[in-house]
Structure formats: structure tokens, C-alpha cells
Chain A
């Protein structure tokens, strides 16, 4: 079955610290992978995507993610977190269709 797992429901980091949000997927074909961010009361904003090629992808707001096929993972990273990064982050997988399967999300809190 196709699925996305985000094992961390809630993460708290200090401002300026590094961040890694985990994402594991299960998909029978070549996966297309996405990270979205959602601020309270807002829709989803696309941070970055992986379709093929270089397994390290850069996104907006200083985020990057690395695709590791052997581990079925697509973890999101940021070297230095800002208070404005506090939000909920969703990993998603797609492929042969335009239907996205989302993980349950990771809520990020940033301490001053």
C-alpha cells in the first residue's frame, strides 16, 4: 500500500539550531516526493520537490531534502531555524497520477 510516515508528531528546536524532519514512504513505483508547510489557518505552501536526478534538492526558505532510495526516506533539513519557521510540515508522495498521499504532519515549535 502507498503511504507516508512522519514519525515525529511534534518537535521543538531552539532558534538558530539545525532541524531535521523525518519522512519515510512506501510506494510501488518511482516516487515523486514533496514537502509542504502549513501555517495556522492557511493552505499548504510547497517547500521543495524531488522527481529525479540529484538526490539532494534545494527549496525555498533555506530548506533542503535528501532522497535516499535504499531507506525509502526523504528527510527535510535546515541548518539554522528561524522563529518564523514554526508551522506544520507535511511530506507527500505521488507518482503515476496527480494524487498526493500525505503524511500526518510534524508540528514544529521554535524556542527563542
Chain B
């Protein structure tokens, strides 16, 4: 089976712009989670989507949003970019049918740099 894919792998944006990141989960996985990784804050959970519905949400401002399509692919969007949004954004897919924690398989990430 193909793994989790994320596009693009690298992105440079300017403050105030918006950005959209894409994630394709492992075939058959309906849960997609997004995490932000920074040197200062570590790995932080952004949100989880399951069957096109946001099932869990972390403590991030409303500038961070996401969605999931019927084929389970997911996108996350960050509007009005700030310098502090520079990070590695990781997508993870899992079965997690019942909603409890399940092993999550991570993609390689998208490295976002905001200048």
C-alpha cells in the first residue's frame, strides 16, 4: 500500500498570505489528523477529520482550518500567515473507526516558511 503523501513538501510564503496544504491518506483510512511541529512547541495536534467531519480540534486560532473530501483526502488552510506559523506540518492517517486512539501513520510533512 502506498503511504501517506503530502504536497507540497516545501513552501515559502509571506506574512499575511494564505496557504493550503494537501494530504492523501493510506487507502482505506478514513481518519486524517494534522499536527504542527516547531522547535519551540514540539508536536501539537491541530485537528482530525473522519468521514468529511471534523471530529477533534486542538487549541489553534481560527486562522487554521481544514476539510476532508469524500475520497478521504484532506486539506488544511492557514489564513493571514504569521512568522510563528513557520513549521513542519504533518498529516497522519489511521483507521480509528471507533474514535478512540489508533496507530497513526505519518506523511513526510510540508515545511512551511513564512517570511
The chain A residues found within 8 Å of chain B, CB to CB, are 32, 34, 36, 41-46, 49, 90, 92, 94-105
Contacts and interface: CB of A to CB of B under 8 A. Distances in A.
Contacts of A94: 100-101
Interface string B92-110: 1010100111111111110
Nearest 8 pairs between A and B by C-beta?
A94-B101, A43-B106, A102-B43, A32-B101, A44-B106, A98-B96, A43-B108, A99-B45
Nearest to A6: B42
Interface centre among B31, B55, B101 (most CB of A within 10 A): B101
- Contact-residue bracket for chain B: 20 to 34
A99 B4 contact: no
B104 A43 contact: no
27 contacts: A32-B100, A34-B103, A36-B106, A42-B109, A43-B90, A43-B108, A43-B109, A44-B90, A44-B92, A94-B100, A96-B101, A97-B55, A97-B101, A98-B31, A98-B33, A98-B48, A98-B55, A98-B96, A98-B100, A99-B33, A99-B58, A100-B45, A101-B45, A102-B42, A102-B44, A105-B42, A105-B43
A92 B101 CA distance: 11
A22 B45 CA distance: 22
A99 B56 contact: yes
A49 to B, nearest CB: 5
A34 B44 CA distance: 15
Contacts of B50: 98
Interface of B: 4, 31, 33, 35, 42-45, 48, 50, 55-56, 58, 90, 92, 94, 96, 99-109
